[in-house]
Chain A
Amino acid sequence: MAEAAQATAQVTTANGQRISLLRVLGPAHIWALGVGIVLVGEFTGWNFSADKGGTLAALMTCWFVGLLYTSVAMIDSEVTSTVAAAGGQYAQAKHIVGPLMAFNVALFLVFAYTMLEVSDAILAGDTIVARAGAEGLTHDSFIALVIVVLAWLNYRGVLMTLNVNFIITALAYISIVILFFAVQPWSQGTVLKLNELVTPQNALPYGWIGVIAAFQFAIWYYLGIEGTTQAAEEVRSPARALPYGTMAGIITLLIAAALTWYVCASLLPWEYLGVTYYPLWDAAKMTGSPVLEFLLFWGTILSAVASANGCINDAARAWFSLGRDRYLPTWFSAVHPKYRTPYRSILFLLPIALAFAFIADLNQAITFSILSGVLHYTFMSINIIMFRNKWPLGSTRRGYTHPFHPIPAICLFVLCAITFFAIFLGFGSQLIAMVVFYIIVSVWFHFYRYRYVRRGDQFTMPWPKPKGY
């Protein structure tokens, strides 16, 4: 592998200059990318877990799924600080498991992020229409605006894209914190009514099976934090920035999830909380304060925009990486000579996102995103075991080493299995259809596409031979 990487590094283009992605990002941008993608889940999505199992189930799954994602963040931080390449988990899978797994992982990533982008744009459009209350107004124009403006921003450069994401993510986060302190959480009964809204009779209305079913939507508290790794090739110091940004991100989200549940569960009855599309905005309305209502309306919009922005960034990098390794036509691996972005991948995915946003409904888009995400997390639990076995500690330089191995990997695998069961309960046919889709494209890749791949060139990390080989 080391020889292949050295040889690759020595190849030059006709005029002697390569056009590569720009290394300009720091830990704050990584935080903005990860938290930006995820934070929308506090503004909508997590609350559907209350419909599946009640308010207490939403809290219990918040912590269990928080454990799942803490494992994801720790594992990701270790592996990606070693495999610092665009494509994130795709590049990890390629080096650690093999090309077929890598191809599937890249597709999981592209599907998860594109469908999440679609869901975000639909949410932003619906929220504006709900606020406007104007007759004849539809969400289509606002969906197009969100997707096209963000694609344009991504096209023009990663630094500005993630600077914008940092600001709007921070503003959305602050809106949650302001709401939390405005309802005087230290004084139950003044504004918050948790004792009245969550009682022993209604805390778990469907029993323990409701708690299991709630896992599917509790994923939304944290879905997408693993997206930080897609920026690996654009950070100035991957070994430092990626673990810092990712771990700070998951800590931020654990706090946001707890605040969100506490405020919403104390202001909205579970029957309503489980079906509304705007739990935090509705909670703000329940306080009777126009200022809080205004703040949380903008918090919802900004979080949806930040999430779509990060998703465009990540889906384009995964698609770009597939092209660069010839897993897809190399045409997709072009980098813009001025803006240094994977511009063809951004443009290719733009009409696909628009098409899905106009024809799909929010529930379908969310389900496909979650399914791809959970498939991806299952891979990560196996990936870290293989990584530690093939390259034990000390054999390669790691920017971060996660503690308690293999407990986080086992936790992640078990929680993924529970989540698959929960998804099967609610969306069994979609789960089966998606697995069949991945099997078909895997057969296509193995028997047709892989003949075009330059097999030595794809392994670029200057690692020693894996143990046992």
Chain B
Amino acid sequence: MWITISYLAWAISAVLAVWMAYDWFKTDTTFTEDQLTSSREGEIEAVSEKHKV
């Protein structure tokens, strides 16, 4: 039984790895690089906190 479970573990890992690779390819070909890398650090802080220097 444990050997069967072991094979099942390999199979689940392979399926999920293939799914992630497929989704990665689909995402990278659907959106531009500028859109995907448009995140910026500190945007919320920039508008929510004001300090007088």
Q: Do A and B come together as binding partners?
A: yes
Binding site for B on A (CB under 8 A): 2, 5-6, 8-9, 11, 13-15, 17-21, 23, 84-87, 91, 132, 134, 136-138, 141-142, 144-145, 147-149, 151-152, 155, 233, 321, 323-325, 330-331, 333-338, 343-344, 347, 350, 395-397, 460-465
If A138-B6, A324-B39 are given as contacts, then 6 extra A-B residue pairs at C-beta distance below 8 Å, sorted by A number, are A14-B35, A85-B42, A144-B13, A347-B21, A350-B20, A463-B51
A9 touches B36 (CB 8 A): no
Known: A134-B2, A134-B3, A142-B9. A84 touches B35 (CB 8 A): no
Give the total number of A-B pairs whose CB atoms are below 8 A apart. 147
A141 touches B10 (CB 8 A): yes
Binding site for A on B (CB under 8 A): 1-3, 6-7, 9-10, 12-13, 16-17, 19-21, 23-24, 27-28, 31-47, 49-53
- Chain B residues with CB under 8 Å of A136's CB are 3
Assembly CA distance A63 to B32 (angstroms) = 52
Which label, helix, strand, loop or mixed, suits the secondary structure of the B interface?
Answer: helix
A333 touches B46 (CB 8 A): no
Known: A19-B36, A141-B9. A132 touches B2 (CB 8 A): yes
Assembly CA distance A152 to B34 (angstroms) = 24
Known: A21-B39, A337-B31, A347-B24. A149 touches B13 (CB 8 A): yes
Instruction: Pick 30 A–B contacts, CB within 8 A, sort by A.
Output: A8-B40, A8-B46, A11-B40, A13-B34, A15-B35, A18-B38, A18-B39, A18-B40, A19-B35, A21-B39, A84-B44, A85-B45, A134-B3, A141-B7, A142-B6, A144-B9, A145-B12, A148-B12, A233-B41, A321-B41, A324-B39, A324-B40, A335-B36, A335-B37, A335-B38, A344-B24, A396-B51, A397-B51, A460-B40, A462-B46
